[in-house]
Amino acid sequence: IHPEPLVDGPNSLLMRRDRFNAWMFLMDLCTHGPEYFRRFKSDIQDPETIERIPLLKTPIIATRAMDINNSTVSGNIHAVIELLAQGGIYDPNDMEFETPDISQHVVLTHGDLGTGEKLQTAQIRRSIESTPLDRLQHVIFIPGLFHLKMACADAIWRIFIQPLAVREDEMIHVKSKCPTHISLKEFAKSEPTLDDLLMMANELARNYVANHMLQRMRRRSEKERDLQFENALLMNKYFLLYEELLYAMNHRDIGRTETTTIAWIPILKATGKHKYATHMSNFLLNVHFIYPPGLWCEREIVTRLLETSATYPNRCECSIRPKRTADEATPY
């Protein structure tokens, strides 16, 4: 998904993620570095947008408080039924209430992974029921990005902070090509131009962030390898990957969010966070390859709900969207 575009100019040798890393280096310098560099901050162009969600006002209807235990499967079933009832949607077989026909619609629901697992279990339990409503066939779970962000932060902690051995590495201090520039303040006195800074940021992105060259470094003999330098490359890569995820979420760039999530999935697996890796893999597969075209056309709504969950992580929300055609409403 979201293939790399062809880029001309000085950044043609950099991949999309490398270009973001170079931008991040430059922004950090102009934001947190000496006063001299801050004059360039307004001239720095934002990273390219992969796929941005339009900025629209989303109507929100507050629901009444419900005395329901969400830690159980039955509690989540009752929560879905109660939320629909508060919206005026009831079982069509119940003659006591008038209810709209939602047979050609789906209900998007977001929450943490516990909510998603219980809703999936509820659908399995009710798979033998006779009507789509009783089977909860209309419920599609959207994982919350806030919880993904916390999982990524925990993965970084497990890799670089929790193990005592990793704390023994010395931090690498990268000096300018000129040996007289022993600090950023000294470097600022030379009054480099924005073009100079852009060139240096590109060099940092290529040479001081782990990429395919790390495999070649690891093939060297033990005497030729610099383990601390290799660890520093990986640390820079993972930290910048976390920065990119936050940037994409804050700027409604769902395309960049998806490509960054793909990079996080093997990291989550390697650190023992298999549930997050599995749920995010399944979600991306469903959105891009499983859901029918009619529902895929509503991807903007699905992803907007995904982004909303990053801002309001504790809010339970349902959004009813049409399936578009009867053929696409086939039971799954």
Q: What is the mean pLDDT of residues 9-28?
A: 87
Q: Is 65 helix (H, G, I), strand (E, B) or coil?
A: coil
Q: Is 101 helix (H, G, I), strand (E, B) or coil?
A: coil
Q: What is the pLDDT of residues 203-260, one digit of tens each?
A: 999 999 998 888 899 899 988 998 888 888 999 999 999 999 999 998 989 899 999 9
Stronger pLDDT, 241 or 318, i.e. the higher one: 241
Stronger pLDDT, 328 or 79, i.e. the higher one: 79
Mean pLDDT across the chain: 82
Residue 73 is predicted with a pLDDT of: 92
Count CA atoms within 13 Å of residue 125 on its CB side: 10
pLDDT at 177 over 70: no
Q: What is the mean pLDDT of residues 160-170?
A: 73
Residue 228 is predicted with a pLDDT of: 84
Q: Model confidence at 287, in pLDDT bands (50, 70, 90)?
A: confident
CB 84 within 8 A of CB 76: no
Reported pTM: 0.82
pLDDT at 147 over 80: yes
Residue 46 is predicted with a pLDDT of: 92
Q: Lowest mean pLDDT of 21-35, 157-171, 306-320, name the range.
A: 306-320
The pair phi, psi for residue 108, each rounded to 5°, is -85, 125
Residue 325 is predicted with a pLDDT of: 41
Stronger pLDDT, 78 or 96, i.e. the higher one: 78
Q: What is the pLDDT of residues 217-228, one digit of tens each?
A: 989 998 899 888
| CA–CA separation, 249 and 311 (whole Å) | 9
The DSSP secondary structure of 3-60, one letter per residue, reads PPPP--STTTTS-HHHHHHHHHHHHHHHHHS-GGGGGGGGGPPPPPPSSBPP--PPP-
